[in-house]
Amino acid sequence: MLKAKIFVELKPSVLDPQGKAVTNSLHNLGFEDVSQTRIGKYIEIVFDSSDHEAVSAEVTKICDSLLANPNTETYRFELVETKS
């Protein structure tokens, strides 16, 4: 079985209001040396397959069609062997 670890992030040019809110909260909590925060998604998908090439193509399709918004987000992923 293969596990895909997928990171979906906002493009650097896209404003991240949620990240800005976290930065402000951290300043209010006294963490003054925080200069920037960006919030993204981390998704793990387990596949009943051990074919790296096929799963890799599948994950690309999944990200393009469901997990990432191509207008505002970028994604990257890695595949690891897993037992469950």
Residues engaged in binding its own copies (CB under 8 A) = 1, 7-9, 22, 25-26, 29, 31, 33-49, 58, 61-62, 65-67
Q: How far is the CB of 83 from its own copies (least distance, A)?
A: 12
Toward its own copies, which CB reaches closer, 65 or 71? 65
Toward its own copies, which CB reaches closer, 1 or 14? 1
Q: How far is the CB of 17 from its own copies (least distance, A)?
A: 14
Do 3 and 82 meet the contact criterion of CB atoms below 8 Å apart?
Answer: yes
Q: How far is the CB of 37 from its own copies (least distance, A)?
A: 5
> Tokens 């979906």 sit at which residue?
8
> Could you give the CA distance from residue 15 to residue 57 in angstroms, rounded to a whole number?
30
β partners of residue 10 = 73
Amino acid letter, residue 58: E
DSSP letter, residue 75:
E
